[in-house]
Each structure stands twice: as C-alpha cells, then as structure tokens.
Structure 1
Amino acid sequence: MKQINSYVHKKILVLGLAKSGVTAASLLHKLGAFVTVNDKKPFSENPEAQGLLEQGIKVICGEHPVELLDEGFELIVKNPGIPYSNPMIQGAIERGIPVITEVELAYEISEAPFIGITGTNGKTTTTTLVFEMLKRGNKNPLIAGNIGTVASGVAQEATNDNWIVIELSSFQLMGINTFNPKIAIITNIYDAHLDYHGTKKEYIEAKANITKNQTDCEYLIYNADQHETREIARRSKAITIPFSTTNELEKGAYIKNGWIYFNEEQIIEIEKIALPGRHNLENILSAMAAAKLSGVENEAIQEVLQTFSGVRHRLQYVAEVNGRKFYNDSKATNTLATINALQAFNRPVILLAGGLDRGNDFDELIPYLKNVKALVTFGQTANKLKSVGEQAGIKMIRHVDNVDMAVPVAYSFSEPGDVILLSPACASWDQYKSFEVRGDIFIDAVHKLN
C-alpha cells in the first residue's frame, strides 16, 4: 500500500455504509482524515456503524440530514448505490464538495496495476476469466469490486507483484477522478439502469469513464461489434484492442474457421471451450486479450478455457432431476441477458421470469421464445411477461408468488429432456435483496425436488 498524505487532517464524509463504506471509512481514518460516517439505518440496528464508532470515527445514523453538509466537508465518498438525485448528493454538488466512490481511493493507494472490466452484460464472467487466466499464468492476481472484496481493501494488501482484476459498475465509475487501469475492458453496452442514470447517454458516459484517464501507455479492449463501444474507443487516448464475434479483424481478438485468434495467432479451437452459450464468446475474447496483454502464455489460457464452465448465478448448471436439467441464470437482470440464455439451448425450455418493474416492456423477448414450452412468472413484472408469453404463443403460463413456488410448478409442466431455466430478465429488488439471494432460493427449491 502506498503511504499517501493527501487525506491527512482532511474532513471527509462517508455516505452510506455496506462493505464499501465501512472499508473506505476505516482506510481514510488510517490515512489521517477526520472521518464522519452517515448511514440511514438506525445505530441500534447497525453493527457496521457501531464498529466504526469503536475505532474513533464519528457516526450519524437514522437519516441523511442535508444540513450535515454545512460542517465544512472537503470530500464525500458515497456508496455507489446512492443516486446522484439524492438530496445529500445534490446538496454537495451545490456546495462544490467533490463526490467520489471508494474505487478512487483504491487506485490512489494501490501499488498494483488494475485490469478494469465494465459493460452491461458479461462483467462477472469476464472478470472471473481474466482472474483465472492470470492465476494459471502465475501473475499473482487479486480480484475486487462487485465480484470480490471491496477494492480499497484489496488495494491495501496489493504489491507491485500483483494485478488487481476489478469488476466495475457504471455507479462506481461515475465517482472517479484519477482512476486509470493499465488494461480496461468494455464488454458491451445496452439499455440498463436508466432509473439511476436517467438517459442512455448518461449511462454510456459513465461506462466511458473507465478509459477517461488512460494514455498511450494503457490498453482499452472494446467490443468492435457495437456502435456505442466503438465510439468510446474512438475518443480514448489508450491503445485500442478490438474484439469481435462476427468479423475477422486485422488486430485484436476474433474468431476464424472455428478458432479463437489474437493478432493473427491461433489460441484455441472453439469446440474445446467448456463455457456454454454463444454470448460467452464475447467474454472469452475480451478476457483472452487482457491475459495476452498481461503476458500470460497460451497454454495457461487454453487450460482455463477448457475447464472453466461458468460462475454462480450466470447460466449455472444446478442439477438433473428425473431427466430435467435445471439452470440458474439469476444474474439475467435485463432482457438481453435472458435472450442470451435462451439462445444457449436447442431443446424445450420452461422459463422462470419476473422481478422489479423498471417501466420497460419485454417485446424483444418474443422472437426468442420459440423453444419455450411453458412460462412461470413472478414479481412486479409477472403480468407484462404473461402478456409477452401469450403473444409468443406459449400455451402453458402460470403466475406464482415467488421463485420458491415457481420451481415445483415449472417441474409439473416439464418432461424428461427439458431445460428448466431461471432467467428473470429483471432485477430482484422487488422481492429479494440481491440476484444472488434469488438464485440461491432457486437452487434450494430444485434440491427439494429430489
């Protein structure tokens, strides 16, 4: 960890706790700042806040009082989930107080270079693939961000012998000033989180922040098949490395005659890759490019791609019960992710879908429901998905209260040889704390069938 003095005696407000807020507050305290923590959860129900108070950090709980901003703070470190429309953040902006996320702190103290991965879909799979390739290639990677430990915690332990491989959301990237990954990846960009960002343009600009500080000493790996990502690459000062699943490229990562290539070098035959689903080829190409740029040998990349079959909640194989195969794709929080999951199977599917209603319709699913023989819906969007299923000609449709109830109903619709797929096309927050919780409930319900 770099010993920096830029926070000594600086008055800083950490807004919102959870893991990132606790780690950021403790780090800033260690760096000599005068830290105040403000969290909405009452102090009596807030063990994180209680622990920070024991460290000598000032804690204010139960509400977000805007007048707190008049105490002369020089910086706010906010939880990524708090939107910029929040009165506290709006008040800080009006007062000219800078607002960052803890990713910025991690970069400032880290001795290790970063490989940063962002995008709408595929971030977690790509991050895991990069980590595994670097690990197999003896590059001493550490994993951080949404998929692993809080970045500013990992950065405290990292040395210049490590790489920090970090999954980054648009929420986190809106709060950076100097963060500059040695290698950045943008997997793809589609409509998402518009309830947070307001417009697709703002969402794209947040994603583009991953390369805003890069120079010609760093690399940007981008999806050459998308206009949005090509435009970000065009504006970047980094060395740009394209990848494509549809076109052979003069440089970068691409597919040719059933093989994965990097800069005209054959890496691995597609048939030997363990990870299912054509959509995962984007993740594989971008991860392989990052590994090559990090100095990983082909043999290590090949070993990972021949054995890595996916991560939890991302098209995860759960079990076979009486000839029915169950897959957990709870991470499919938008329609594109569900389309990708449906395209991975060429056998009859019973689809479990539904969740938080963000105001969008699901008409784009209709062309991909041809193999769906039954649909089980739940959550706020149940009726919207039922309507889409009817338009697609699905005869068996059932609305249930939750995922736990959906599993036995789906099983009752199925026959040996069918796939029973949880791929909700929606966020989980109407009923569940996270997509992980939703996926775990699905897995438990599947095991109850035995």
Structure 2
Amino acid sequence: MKNVNQFREMKVLVLGLAKSGYAATKLLHSLGAEVTVNDASPEEGNKEASALRLEGIQVICGGHPKGILDEGFELIVKNPGIPYSNSVVVDAVQKGIPVWTEIELTSRISEAPIIAITGSNGKTTTTTLLYHMLNIGGKHPLIAGNIGTASCTVAEKATEDNFIVLEVSSFQLMGTEAFRPKIAIWTNLYDAHLDYHGTSEAYAVAKSRVTEKQTQEDYFIYNEDQAELRKFAARSLATKVPFSLKGIRSAGISADDEQIYWDGEPYVKRSIIKLPGQHNLENILAATAAAILLNCDKAAIENVLSSFTGVRHRTQFVKELKGRTFYNDSKATNTLATKSALAAFDMPIVLIAGGLDRGHSFEELRLFMNNVKAVVTLGETAGKFAEFATSCGITKIIHADDVNDAVLKAYPLTDVGDIVLLSPACASWDQYPSFEARGDQFIEAVIKLS
C-alpha cells in the first residue's frame, strides 16, 4: 500500500455499511481519518456496526439524521447502491463535499496496477477469464470489486508485483475523481439501471469514467462494433485497443469464423475455445487483449481458452447426462441476457424461464426462439411466458413449481443432443433470495438427476 497521508485527521462520513462501506471505514481509520459511519439499517443484528464501534469508530444506525453534515465532514464515501437522490448525498453535493465510492480509495492507495473492467454485460466473465490467464501466466493477479472482495481491502495488501483485476459498475464509477486504471475494458453498452441513472445518456457517461483519467501511457480496450463506444473511445486519451467480431482488423484484437487475430495476424484458433456464444467471444477478445498487453505467456492464454466453461450462473456448463447438456444461466435476469444465451446454441433447447414480474414484455426474445423446442415456466411470469411461447409456435409448454421441479419436468422433453437451459429472463425475488440461490438449486437438481 502506498504511504498515503492525505486522510490523516480528515473528517470522513462513510454512508452505508455493507461490504464496501465496512472495508472503506477500516481503511480510512487505519490511515488516521476521523471516521463516522451512517447506515440506514437498524442497529439490532448489525454485526459490522458493532465491530466498528469496538474500534472506537462512531456509528449512527437506523436512518440519516437531518443536519448530519453540519459536523464538518470533508469527504463522503458512499455505498455504490445509495442513489444520488439520497438527501445526505444531495446536501453534500450542494455544499461542495466530494462524494466518492470505495474504488476511488483503491486507486489512491494501490501499489499494483489496476485493470478495470466494466460493461452492461460480460464484465464478470471477462474479469474471471483475465484473472485465470494472468494467474496461470505467473503475473500474480488479485481479483476484486463486484466479483468478490472489496477492492480497497485487496489494494491494502497488493504490491507492485501484483495486478488488481477489478470489476467495476456504473454505480462505482460515478463516485470517482482521480481513478486511473492502467488498462480499462468496456465490454459493451446497453440500456440498464435507468431507475438509478435516470437516462441512457447519464448511464453511458457514468460508464465512460473508466477511461476518463487515462493518459497515453494507459490502454483502453473497447467494443469497436458498437457505434456509441467508438464515440467514447474517440474522446479517450488512452492508447486505444479495439476488439471486433466482424472479421480481421489491422489493429487491436478481432475474430472471424476460424481465428482470433492480434493486430491483423493469426493468434489462436477458435476451435480450442470451450466457452459458447458470440457474446462470450466478445469477453474472450477483451480479456485476451489485456493479457497480451501485460505480456502474459501465450500458452497460459490458450490454457484458459481451452478449459474455461463459464462463470457460475452465467451460461455455466453444469453436466452432460445421456447426451443432454445442462447449462445454468440464472444470472439472466432480463431479456437481453437470455437473448445472448439462446443465441449461443445451435442445438435444440428446452428452456426454463420465468420469475419476478416487473411488467416487461418478452417480445425481444422472439427472433431467438427458433431453436427452442419446449418451455418450462415458473414464477410470477409463468403465464405470461407461456402465452409468449405459444405465440412463437411452441407447443410443448409445462408449468413448474420451482427450479427443482422444472429440471424434473424438462428432462423428459429432451432427446440426445438437446440443451436444457435455465435462462429465466426475470429476476429471482418472487421465489428465491438471489439469482445465485436459484442457480444453485438448478445445479443440485441436475446432479440429483444423474
């Protein structure tokens, strides 16, 4: 960790505990800041609040007291999930108090170069791919951010011999000031989180902060196939490294049906890649480009490409059983993600779909339902999805009580060579506490089948 003195005796308010707030509080306290924590959840059962209080840190739980900023705070570090419409945040902005998220602290203390990965989809897969490439290649990577440990906790222990592979969201990027990754990756841009950002433009601008402070000494890897990302790349001062699925490019990384190319030259054959889907090929190109820029051995990159079958709950290969292959895509909580999963397979699909009803249409999936031979529906949207499937010409439609029941009902609908795909196109909260819990039940049900 860098020797940072700027926080010594600084009055800092950490807004919201959770994982990142707790980590930020511990770090700032160790750096000599005078920290106060304000969390909206009740005091009772809040283990983090109790632990911090034992260290002599002031903790205020149960809401945001009016006038809390009158205590003279010089900095606010907020949980990324707290919106900018929050009264304390609004007040802070009006008073000119900087409002950061925890990744800004990470950038200020880290001795290790940071590789920051963002995007509407694919950032977790890209982060994981790159981490494994660097790990096998002996580059001593550390993984952090949305995918696991809070980044400032990782940065405290990192040295200049490490690389921090950091998954970052638009929520986190909004709270940055000097955040400057050595390599920034922007996988793609689609409308998302508009309830938080308000407009598509605001969401895109938040994402663009991943490259905003980069210089010519840094690298910006971006999706050249998206016009909007080309616009943001044109504004970046970093050295640009585009990736494209539309044939050979003379610069950056690209792919055709046979090969992946680096600066227009064949680099690796696509036939060795295990991870299915065009959307995952984008993730592969982005991760491979970063690994090459970091002088990762080609053998390490090939090792990962030929063995990696997916991040848990993200088009994750689960098992092959009597010629049927099961994939867990529980992370597909919207139609965009399910569309990508359906497009990944040429084989007949028995699709398990449905969940929390947010009033959305499934119409966006219509052009991707051609390979779906049967549907098993579940959750609040079961009836709505059944109607949609019927309109697509699908005649085999069965309702299931939950994911476990869905697996039992899906298997008899299959033939050798078929795919059973859990890709709900809906959030899980009508039946499960998280998409992870939903996906875990799918995996358990498939294992029981065998």
Query: By the TM > 0.5 criterion, same fold?
Result: yes
- 1:172-225 C-alpha deviation (Å, 9 max, x unpaired): 111111110010111111121122222111111111010010111111001010
CA gap of 1:86–1:446, structure 2 versus 1, over 3 A, is farther
Equivalent residue for 2:324? Answer: 324
Contact kept in structure 1, 2:335 and 2:364, CA below 8 Å: yes
SS at match of 2:306: helix
**1:411 pairs with 2:388:** no
Contact kept in structure 2, 1:195 and 1:358, CA below 8 Å: no
Equivalent residue for 2:351? Answer: 351
Equivalent residue for 1:166? Answer: 166
**1:267 pairs with 2:267:** yes
- What are the residue-to-residue correspondences of 1:117-132 with 2, within 5 Å? 117-132=117-132
- What are the residue-to-residue correspondences of 1:255-294 with 2, within 5 Å? 255-256=255-256, 258-294=258-294
The answer to which of 73-82 and 146-155 deviates more is: 73-82
Distance (whole Å) between structure 2 residues aligned to residue 449 and residue 257 of structure 1: 36
SS at match of 1:44: coil
Distance (whole Å) between structure 2 residues aligned to residue 420 and residue 155 of structure 1: 41
**1:211 pairs with 2:211:** yes
CA gap of 1:234–1:435, structure 2 versus 1, over 3 A, is same
Distance (whole Å) between structure 1 residues aligned to residue 394 and residue 87 of structure 2: 46
Equivalent residue for 1:149? Answer: 149
**1:78 pairs with 2:78:** yes
- 1:318-363 C-alpha deviation (Å, 9 max, x unpaired): 2234543221111223322211211222222121223344553221
SS at match of 2:317: strand
- What are the residue-to-residue correspondences of 1:14-93 with 2, within 5 Å? 14-93=14-93
Which AA in structure 2 matches 1:449? L
Distance (whole Å) between structure 1 residues aligned to residue 259 and residue 20 of structure 2: 41
Which AA in structure 1 matches 2:315? L
- Offset of 1:140 from its aligned partner? 1.2
- Offset of 1:399 from its aligned partner? 4.4
SS at match of 1:35: strand
Long gaps (5+) in structure 2: none
CA gap of 1:408–1:88, structure 2 versus 1, over 3 A, is farther
- Offset of 1:134 from its aligned partner? 1.3
SS at match of 2:192: coil
Which AA in structure 2 matches 1:290? A
CA RMSD of aligned residues (A): 1.9
Contact kept in structure 1, 2:252 and 2:262, CA below 8 Å: yes
Contact kept in structure 2, 1:314 and 1:332, CA below 8 Å: yes
Distance (whole Å) between structure 2 residues aligned to residue 45 and residue 322 of structure 1: 48
- Offset of 1:47 from its aligned partner? 0.9
Equivalent residue for 1:96? Answer: 96
SS at match of 1:45: coil
Which AA in structure 2 matches 1:29? H
Equivalent residue for 1:191? Answer: 191
SS at match of 1:410: helix
Distance (whole Å) between structure 1 residues aligned to residue 98 and residue 246 of structure 2: 42
CA gap of 1:401–1:98, structure 2 versus 1, over 3 A, is farther
- 1:139-183 C-alpha deviation (Å, 9 max, x unpaired): 111111111211000000000111111111111111111110010
Distance (whole Å) between structure 2 residues aligned to residue 405 and residue 39 of structure 1: 40
- 1:270-312 C-alpha deviation (Å, 9 max, x unpaired): 0111222222111111111101111112222222212222221
TM superposition score normalised by structure 1: 0.95
CA gap of 1:431–1:81, structure 2 versus 1, over 3 A, is farther
CA gap of 1:372–1:256, structure 2 versus 1, over 3 A, is closer
Equivalent residue for 1:425? Answer: 425
Distance (whole Å) between structure 2 residues aligned to residue 237 and residue 101 of structure 1: 23
Contact kept in structure 2, 1:104 and 1:175, CA below 8 Å: yes
CA gap of 1:67–1:413, structure 2 versus 1, over 3 A, is farther
- Give identity over the alignment, percent: 58
Contact kept in structure 2, 1:10 and 1:74, CA below 8 Å: yes
CA gap of 1:105–1:193, structure 2 versus 1, over 3 A, is same
CA gap of 1:309–1:2, structure 2 versus 1, over 3 A, is same
Contact kept in structure 2, 1:267 and 1:302, CA below 8 Å: no
Equivalent residue for 1:106? Answer: 106
Equivalent residue for 1:222? Answer: 222
Contact kept in structure 1, 2:115 and 2:184, CA below 8 Å: yes
CA gap of 1:355–1:77, structure 2 versus 1, over 3 A, is farther
SS at match of 2:67: helix
